[in-house]
Amino acid sequence: MKVKVDEDLCIGCGICEGIVPTVFSLENGPAAEVLMDPVTPDYENDVRQAAEDCPEGAILLEEENQSINSETTVEALELSEDEAEDLTPINVSERKNEMKVTVDADLCIGCGICEGIVPEVFTLQNEPHAEVLLDPVPEEFQDATREAAEECPEQAIAIED
């Protein structure tokens, strides 16, 4: 399996690196870079999971001379639905229960509570206030994002479901 990251789509959220750090790294820039290409069979399932979880559909997989990305259809690949679920990333527009989150820079005091609760969504890397890393927020981080908003001492986090 070969893997590529579309740098124009990648938002540097780190989800891929979190799933399989042997293959993906954010160490050298704002976009994820591929450390292993081709991917050895030991990591293929993890790479598929990273592609599926990528909120921007920026991870492109190539297996047996077939490119797979968020625009590829099951029919084009001639795969069963079960096989397709394992191989195709989810396009952001297909996500259900979309959550948008914003941080009011005028209210935020940069305390870091939000980043401590859900670092996948918030960062203080460019202080003095928190910034949102994922927009929309993937379903797996929505509960923690709500908790971060509730715990914000300045109520600087706004959530739109």
82-141: pLDDT as tens digits: 655 555 454 444 445 689 999 999 999 999 999 999 999 999 988 789 999 988 999 899
Dihedral, 14, 142, 114, 147 alpha carbons, nearest 10: -150
**What's the predicted TM-score (pTM) here?**
0.43
Residue type, 114: C
Same domain, residue pair 53 and 111: no
Distance from C-alpha of 25 to C-alpha of 31, rounded to nearest angstrom: 9
Question: Is 135 found in the same domain as 69?
Answer: no
Residue 153 and residue 122 share a domain? yes
Domain containing 82: what range?
2-91
